[in-house]
Amino acid sequence: MNNILETNISYLKGVGPKRAELLTKDLGIETFEDLLNYFPFRYVDKSRFYKVKDVVTDSVYYQIKGKVSNLSSVGDKRTKYITATFSDETGSIGLVWFKGLQWIKKKLDSDKEYILFGKPGVFKNKFNFVHPDLEVVSENETQKIIGNRLEGIYSTTEKLKNVGLGSKGISKIVKTLLEKISESIEETLPEYLIKKYNLLSRKEALINIHFPENPDILKRAELRLKFEELLFVQLQILQLKITVQDKIKGHVLEKVGDVFNEFYYNHLPFELTGAQKRVIKEIRKDMKSGKQMNRLLQGDVGSGKTLVALMSMLIAIDNGYQSALMAPTEILATQHFHSIVNLLKDMDVEVGLLTGSTKVSQRKVIHERLQNGKMNIIIGTHALIEDVVKFNNLGLVVIDEQHRFGVAQRAKLWKKGSIPPHVLVMTATPIPRTLAMTLYGNLDVSIIDELPPGRKPVKTLHFYQNKYLAVIGFLRKQIKEGRQVYIVYPLISESETLDLKNLMDGFEELQRHFPLPEYQVSVLHGRMKPEDKEYEMKRFVEGKTDIMVSTTVIEVGVDVPNATVMVIENAERFGLSQLHQLRGRVGRGSGQSYCILMSGNKLSNEGRKRLEIMVSTSDGFKIAEEDLKLRGPGEIQGTKQSGIMNFKIANLAKDGELVSRTRVIAQNILEKDPTLSMPVNIRLKKQLNKLLKDKTNWGRIS
């Protein structure tokens, strides 16, 4: 039955092999079903007609009936264009074309009445229409058009337009398709859900998403399709969670022994926060359960995640297991290494560091000690997941700042033992709840929602560039008080050379304001050799440098409590989560800290909004929500590579409530029928199997 939907798109009337190839290449449309699922991205209301005299603004679309006259070519050969006049009984307005001149001349007929559709432009203080849509009004068509009609607009490409598949062309082949296959559209939701939530049938929804009769039914069609999409995502994720929890064994790490206790009672430099204690308990419970732990640890910058990781690793040691801690960059890995070695300095625990720049001879030793089990904790970057690294008995893997690790990379660690290690993923980029439910739906989540005591919130200020000198004066005062300063410049790959120049110019200017030998200013960027970066970073950590001018290489994790000012240049160019990360570099000690956002005078609305949000809150979760709203989920770090954002119609930023609702519904369904074997759920099972077979395998994300 479904087979017809799997038919290659080239067999659809009006398509053929050449267009089919383009459809596949440009839009990913390969089969009938793909086209059926290629929805308009917006709709224009063609239910209303205007008169020429109604054209008073260039910000809306107008639909007007009238005649075309005075068609003429203007300009010389190179700048040629065509003008015409469009008139009705209320007046006339200019039309302009710069392309397709031959075609327009041939097509337009001054005897016929046309329907013009378009957004006006302004030329020499007068409104005109550039490249308007013109359709001949024919008798029977007048009837059709005058009814309530929303026209779906499909996104397309230049190449497709050239072969007649602009938005209109696509609409036409979708129509042909629907006429051919609408009887083959199968329902995917059980009757009881359709009834309970008053949903359109799948067939009705698909017809109306392409050709809505009116706005109301369009809304219901959208709801039905989003509901379906989100429900199946949640069913997949939750079902996988059930199977993972039930089937995948984990090492039993039940003992809390000497190593943990010695650290806890004799070497812990401060009281754990309540949140840290709670989270450690949650982790302990997982690790002794006999099932593999898959836990996401969310905690704002500076909330003390590293310590939680360390104490979890000590439990592993108490049970005779090794642990690995993976960080996304060498600087971070090195910093973790130093702080952990420092915390464990009076204890008999062997800790190693393995990164891309570990010398071959050292590397050999580390490999050996990991393999024979002498080394208890290994800290490193991607180098840790190379195939040559073999563990004696890896019990726990901690992944810091997880969004930088790809799925495949993490999966590599799995294979290193027959029973997979427990996994603790730490992230300081709080993820909005709705996103977390989808992105990390099969992970358990622990949250550290409390900062260590005595931290003063960072004061955040926004200044325009003309206040630069005042800011310099402020920095001088802070440095006089013995504080250190970060100054960060954006580095965005599109114009990397230019950005780097900005950074170096900024560095030079700062050196003039803060001359040697009184002041030490250093610079750090991604193009430097690792050992040079390391050297500069080390000097800053040791307090030998007053000002560190850098790109976002210092973004994640770097911990220098004496640094109290973070100046972010061109702050409008950074995303919210990045700004939040950067701000998290200060406010780590007991002194009052400041985050100064510098921007140009000209700000886009979105840029301004971001800066306002930063000034108004320091709550990472709130910022993440705002970020999601501003940018949409596709842009949130880590989501692209996961493929999770390939939603056809649902939008995680806007449909948060529906995400939560479908999650609860999915939970209820699976509670009663975990394998979806009950007859009432037969459609769910069938569709789920189909989705799993197709491509979207949500489960492999963690």
Q: State the residues that interact with ligand ADP by CB under 6 A.
A: 270-273, 276, 299, 301-307, 428, 452, 559, 588
Closest CA to 353 of 338, 343, 342: 338
578 Cβ neighbours under 8 A, 6+ residues apart: 552, 555
Q: Which is nearer to Mg ion, 292 or 355 (CB)?
A: 355
Q: Which is nearer to ligand ADP, 171 or 339 (CB)?
A: 339
The letter for the amino acid at 559 is D
Cα torsion 248, 249, 251, 252: sign: positive
Give the Cα separation of 182 and 179 in Å (integer).
Answer: 6
Q: Which is nearer to Mg ion, 208 or 329 (CB)?
A: 329
Q: Which is nearer to Mg ion, 430 or 557 (CB)?
A: 557
Q: Which is nearer to ligand ADP, 335 or 570 (CB)?
A: 335
By a kind-dependent CB cut-off of 5 to 8 A, residue 40 interacts, out of Mg ion, ligand ADP, none, with: none
Give the Cα separation of 423 and 409 in Å (integer).
Answer: 13
By a kind-dependent CB cut-off of 5 to 8 A, residue 299 interacts, out of ligand ADP, Mg ion, none, with: ligand ADP
CB of 551 to ligand ADP, least distance (A): 20
CB of 339 to ligand ADP, least distance (A): 7
By a kind-dependent CB cut-off of 5 to 8 A, residue 236 interacts, out of Mg ion, ligand ADP, none, with: none
Give the Cα separation of 51 and 558 in Å (integer).
Answer: 64
The site map against Mg ion for 277-316 (x = CB under 5 A) is: ----------------------------------------
Closest CA to 291 of 245, 255, 253: 245
CB of 378 to ligand ADP, least distance (A): 19
Q: Which is nearer to ligand ADP, 128 or 276 (CB)?
A: 276
Closest CA to 565 of 473, 491, 451: 473
CB of 557 to Mg ion, least distance (A): 4
CB of 436 to ligand ADP, least distance (A): 17
By a kind-dependent CB cut-off of 5 to 8 A, residue 430 interacts, out of ligand ADP, Mg ion, none, with: none
Cα torsion 474, 480, 483, 487: sign: positive
By a kind-dependent CB cut-off of 5 to 8 A, residue 226 interacts, out of Mg ion, ligand ADP, none, with: none
By a kind-dependent CB cut-off of 5 to 8 A, residue 328 interacts, out of ligand ADP, Mg ion, none, with: none
Tokens found for residue 254 = 């039940």
CB of 458 to ligand ADP, least distance (A): 13
Q: Which is nearer to ligand ADP, 587 or 638 (CB)?
A: 587
- Based on the shown chain and the rule CB under 5 A, indicate whether residue 557 belongs to the binding site for Mg ion: yes
Residue 416 per-residue DSSP state: T
Tokens found for residue 308 = 């939680």
Task: Report cis status (omega within 30 of 0) of the bond before 633.
Answer: no
Dump the DSSP string for 564-612.
EEEEETTGGGS-HHHHHHHHTTSS-SSS--EEEEEE-S---HHHHHHHH
By a kind-dependent CB cut-off of 5 to 8 A, residue 273 interacts, out of Mg ion, ligand ADP, none, with: ligand ADP
Q: Which is nearer to ligand ADP, 273 or 376 (CB)?
A: 273
| Nearest residue to ligand ADP, scored by beta-carbon proximity | 304
The letter for the amino acid at 567 is V
Give the Cα separation of 492 and 583 in Å (integer).
Answer: 19
Cα torsion 602, 606, 609, 614: sign: negative
CB of 305 to Mg ion, least distance (A): 5
The site that binds Mg ion (CB under 5 A) totals a number of residues, namely 1
Residue 264 per-residue DSSP state: I
Instruction: List interacting residues with Mg ion (CB under 5 A).
Output: 557
